[in-house]
Structure 1
Amino acid sequence: MLNFERSTTSCRSTAMRRGLRSRARLRWRVLLPWLAIVAAVLALFLFPGSTPAMDARAHPDGLAVLEQVPVSETRQWVLIRTEDVANPVVLFVHGGPGTAQLTLMRRNTRPLERYFTVVNWDQRRAGKSFAAGRDRARMTMGQFVDDVVDLSSYLARRFRKERILLVGHSWGTVIGALAVHRRPDLFSAYVGIGQMSTMAESERLSYEWTLEQARSAGDRRSVAKLVAIGPPPYEGAFRSKFLTERQLLARYGGEYHGSRIGALGVVLRNLVLSREYTMTDRINFFRGISQSLDALHEELFRTDLFVQAPALQVPVWFCLGRHDREVPSALSARYFEALEAPRKQLVWFERSAHLPNTEEREKFNRLLVDAVLPALRE
C-alpha cells in the first residue's frame, strides 16, 4: 500500500512538472512575438537612418551621405547622392510647408545621380530637421529664404561650384523663387514644380473648383462641408478647414491625377519603407506638417510673386501638371507669362496634377538631363 501511494505521488509530481513545463512553453510562445515586436519598435527608434551606399568600384568618385550640415546657425539634414562629385549640384526644396520627402525624392531622382550631385533637404521643423525649428520666432518665410541661400552657399563651397541648380516644389517654389530673386549670383538656373504665385488667388480658385466638383458629383456631404468652412482665407481653425478642403480636392483628382486619396498613398508608402527616417523622424514628419502650417500660413497667404519676384535673372523652367488644382496650374501659367527671365520654358505634364516629378517621373528626369543640364554648360 505504501509503495502504491509513493508511486501515485511520484506520478502526480511528474504530471505537475510536465504541466508546468507545458505552461512555460506556452507562455514563451505567446511572449516571444510580443518581445520581437517591442525589439523591432525599439530598433526603429534607436537605429540611425541611412541611405543605400554608392558602389565604390563602379563609381570611385561617387558619394552617398545622409548628414547634418550647418544652415543659418542650426544643423539641418541633407541627403547627398552622386556617381561623381564633379557633377553640377542640384538642390531640391520640398513643399508643404513641412512636407519632407527624403525617401520619395531619393527614389525619384536615382537616374539623375549619373549627371548631378543630387541634394535633398529636410527644412527646419520638417522630418529629420524637426529640431532645427524649435524657435517659433524664426519660423518665418524670410528665415526659410535665408536658409535656402545659406545652404546653397554651403553646397557651392563644398563642391567647388560657382553656382548651383535650384529646384522647388509647391511651397518650395515660394522660398526658392525668392532666394533666386535675392541672390541670382548663387544659381545657374531655377526649376519650379507646381509653381506658386499669388497664394490668396490660388486658394480661392482651388476652393471653387473643389466645390464645383462636389456639386457636379451630387456629393451633398462634401458640399455641406465646404459650405460650412466657407471660402478662404479661412477664419478661426485654419488648419482644420484648410486640410478639409485639401482632402476633398484630392478625392476629385486635383492633387494626384487619377487618385481619390491624392498623394497620401505615395507619401505613406515611402515613409513606412524609408531607410532614411527613424521612428522618431516618422512621428516628427506629421508634427512638422501641422506645426509648420500653423506658423507660416498667415504670411504665406500674403505671398504674391507677381510683385515679390517679377523677374529672375537666371534661366527658368516651370513644370506644371495639367490637372493641378491644389496650386491651379492656369494661375501658375499666368505667372510664367508675366515673369521676366533671360530664358524661360513652360513644360506641361499632361498626366499629372500637383506632383509631376512623381506622377511622370521619367519625363521630369529627362527634362533635367536633356534640357536643363545643357543650359548649365552654356
Structure 2
Amino acid sequence: MFARKTRKMNSDLGIAVLEEVEIGKVKQTILIRGEDIHNPIMLFLHGGPGTAQIGFAPKFQGELEKEFTVVNWDQRGSGLSYSTELKKEDLLIEQFVSDTIELITYLLEKFKQPKLFLVGHSWGTVLGILVSQKSPELLYSYIGIGQVVNMKEGEKISYEYTIRKAQELNKKKAIKQLANYDINDLKTLDIQRKWLTEFGGSYINVSMYNLIYSNMIFAKEYTFRDWMNYMKAGKSSLHALWDQMLEIDFLTTATELQVPVYLLTGKHDYQTPFSLAERYYDKLQCPYKELIWFEKSGHLLNYEETNKFNYVCIEIKKEQCIVV
C-alpha cells in the first residue's frame, strides 16, 4: 500500500505536513500547508458531519497558502480519522467542540501564535459558533460558510423549496418520493437532498464527482483503503450526530459572541437556507459582523466561487490587521 504524503512547498519558510495527533484521546489527522510559517493560521472545520476534506480541499487553497498557514482537519470518525473503535457515544457535539479547542491550542503552541482564523462549513459552522462562544480569546475572527442557524426550521424551508420546485416542474417521481419525507428518517433525507441538488438548491457550479471523487482519486494524502472508508465514515458520523444537530437553534442560544463574525452565504443555498443566515446576522451582537453574499453559489461557495472566497479571506486578514 502506498504511504500517505502531501506535495512539498517551494519555500524555505514553508510547511507541508500530514500529521497524526492525539486529540480528545483519539488519534486524528491534520494537514498543514503554507508558504510561510510566520503567517497567521487558518483552521477549516469541514461539513457533513463526516465530509472530511483533506483529500480534495488543498486543490482549491493555493492562494490561501500564500497568506495563511492552512490547516485541514479530518474530524474524529471521518476521513483519515475514521476508526471502527469509535462508538456513538464518542461522537457527541460537546466532544467535537472540546476537540476543536484542543486542536486550536495545539496549533497556537506549535506555531507560537496568539490566535487563529476559524472557518466552518455547514456542520462545521455548528462547531464554529460553539467554539466562538466558549473560547473567543483563541480567535481573530470566525468565518461561517453555509451557516447552520436553526436546524429544524432550516430543514422545513429546505423541504418546502424542494417540493415546490417538484410541483412547478411537474416532476411526478420527485413528488411521490418527497411525500414520504420525515426529518427524523435519514433515508428520506437522502432523497430530499438528491432532489434539492437537481433543483439547484444545494450547489450549482460544481458536481460532487468533480469536487470530491475526481480529486481524491489522485490525492496522495489518501490511500485506496482510506477511500474505501470515506463513505462509510460519513454515513456513520451523520447517523450519530443527526438527532443532536436537530436541537441546534442559535437564534436563541448564540445571539452574542465576543469575536468578529463573517457570514459567507450562497444566494442559492437552500441546504442551510440563506434566509436563516440573514435572520441570524440581523440578531447577532458581536464586535464586528459582516454578511457577504456569493451570487453564483449555493451551499459550497468556497468551491463554487473559489477565487472570490479566497479573496474575501485575504481581505478579512487585512481588516484584522494581523501582525505575527
TM-score under structure 2 length normalisation: 0.96
The answer on 1:365 being equivalent to 2:310 is: yes
Where do 5+ consecutive residues of structure 1 fail to align?
1-45
Q: Which residue of 2 aligns with 1:248?
A: 195
Q: Is the 8 A contact 1:133 1:139 kept in 2?
A: no
Deviates more, 1:302-311 or 1:120-129: 302-311
Q: Is the 8 A contact 2:82 2:229 kept in 1?
A: yes
Over aligned residue pairs, what C-alpha RMSD do you find? 1.4
Q: Which residue of 2 aligns with 1:183?
A: 135
Q: Is the 8 A contact 2:40 2:322 kept in 1?
A: no
- The structure carrying a bigger helix percent of its residues is 1
Q: Which residue of 2 aligns with 1:10?
A: none
Q: Which residue of 2 aligns with 1:20?
A: none
Q: Which residue of 1 aligns with 2:270?
A: 325
The answer on 1:228 being equivalent to 2:180 is: yes
Per-residue deviation, residues 40-81 of structure 1 (Å, max 9, x unmatched): xxxxxx1122111112xxx11110011101211111101100
SS at match of 2:30: strand
Cα gap change, 1:263/1:324 in structure 2, threshold over 3 Å: closer, same or farther? farther
Per-residue deviation, residues 196-217 of structure 1 (Å, max 9, x unmatched): 1000000010011000111111
Distance in 1, Cα, partners of 2:256 & 2:43: 21
Deviates more, 1:105-114 or 1:190-199: 105-114
Per-residue deviation, residues 207-254 of structure 1 (Å, max 9, x unmatched): 11000111111100000000023xx423xxx22111111011001111
Instruction: Give the C-alpha shift of residue 271 in structure 1.
Output: 2.2
Distance in 1, Cα, partners of 2:22 & 2:321: 27
Aligned residue among 68, 79, 85 for 2:31: 79
Larger radius of gyration: 1
Alignment of 1:1-378 (within 5 A): 46-55=1-10, 59-131=11-83, 134-229=86-181, 232-234=182-184, 238-257=185-204, 262-377=207-322
SS at match of 2:27: strand
Instruction: Give the C-alpha shift of residue 263 in structure 1.
Output: 3.2
Q: Is the 8 A contact 1:93 1:169 kept in 2?
A: yes
Distance in 2, Cα, partners of 1:97 & 1:183: 22
Distance in 1, Cα, partners of 2:203 & 2:71: 24
Per-residue deviation, residues 120-167 of structure 1 (Å, max 9, x unmatched): 000011110002871321111111111111101110111111111100
Instruction: Give the C-alpha shift of residue 264 in structure 1.
Output: 4.3
Distance in 1, Cα, partners of 2:162 & 2:208: 16
Q: Is the 8 A contact 2:180 2:188 kept in 1?
A: no
Distance in 2, Cα, partners of 1:195 & 1:308: 15
Q: Which residue of 2 aligns with 1:17?
A: none
Q: Is the 8 A contact 1:74 1:132 kept in 2?
A: no
Distance in 1, Cα, partners of 2:270 & 2:132: 25
SS at match of 1:228: coil
Distance in 2, Cα, partners of 1:86 & 1:372: 14
SS at match of 1:131: coil
Q: Is the 8 A contact 2:5 2:220 kept in 1?
A: yes
Per-residue deviation, residues 267-326 of structure 1 (Å, max 9, x unmatched): 221222221111111111101111011101001001111222211111111110000011
Q: Is the 8 A contact 2:183 2:189 kept in 1?
A: no
Amino acid in the other structure paired with 1:111? E
Amino acid in the other structure paired with 2:174? S
Cα gap change, 1:264/1:240 in structure 2, threshold over 3 Å: closer, same or farther? farther
Distance in 2, Cα, partners of 1:199 & 1:269: 31
Cα gap change, 1:181/1:217 in structure 2, threshold over 3 Å: closer, same or farther? same
TM-score under structure 1 length normalisation: 0.83
Distance in 1, Cα, partners of 2:105 & 2:321: 18
Amino acid in the other structure paired with 2:303? T
Distance in 2, Cα, partners of 1:310 & 1:62: 39
SS at match of 2:239: helix
Q: Which has the higher contact order (CA 8 A, sep 6+)?
A: 2
Amino acid in the other structure paired with 2:304? E
